[in-house]
A = this chain, B = another copy of it.
Amino acid sequence: MELKQIIEASLFAANEPLSIVELQGVFLLEDRPDKHAVHDAIKQLQEECLLRSIELIEVASGYRFQVKSTYSPWVARLWEEKPVKYGRALLETLAIIAYQQPATRGEVEEIRGVAVSTNIIRTLQEREWVRVIGHKEVPGRPALYVTTKEFLDYFNLQTLAELPPLASLLDIDLQPRTNVQLNLGDDAPTKKDTIQNEKKYSST
């Protein structure tokens, strides 16, 4: 197994820049290469990139592969269209935070009975529907999430109190009368919410 290839594999898999020390860390102590060896491997990899569509560059926190900017007009078209649909897990998480805020991730998981992926929390935060208000002073110091003004704005609410009260929610008939089973099909979680975050889950 070649040093260069192990480093290449690590850089491709990492999803974030890796420092020389981090790259050394993928080797067991007994055959850990020194900094120069890692450096040399990176140099070689950089040279191999010359004719390819990607480059291996150094940024503040280390090295990473990136697509050469000359290709961005094409590659960018991958993301042009199609907003994806949010999955069930995301909607439930949002609902629980809205009704039970301030809530920790653990509390959301407790109510849902399954793990909540980091991706979902991140998506909600990026959308600015949910923010961290602080950390609970219990072991692990979990973040406390609340909904934001933007959340209220998006749903045309003045205050949270305009959401149906919990007690009556169960009695409200929200379900459209027709096609109940088709709806269930549509609610199947949509692609991609979870894939990246695989590792965060614990098995059941």
Which of the segments A95-103, A116-124, A155-163, A170-178 contacts the partner chain?
Answer: A116-124
Number of copies: 2
Given A13-B75, A113-B122, decide whether A132 and B184 contact each other with a Cβ distance below 8 A: yes
Expressed in whole angstroms, the minimum distance between the Cβ of A68 and any Cβ of chain B is: 7
Interface size class of A (residues with CB under 8 A): 35 or more
Residues of B within 8 A of A120 (CB): 204
* A positions within 8 Å CB-CB of B: 1, 5-6, 8-10, 12-16, 18, 22, 25-27, 52-54, 65, 67-68, 70-71, 74-75, 77-79, 81, 83-87, 89-90, 113-114, 117-120, 122-123, 125-128, 131-135, 141, 143, 150, 154, 181, 184-185, 188-189, 191-196, 198-204
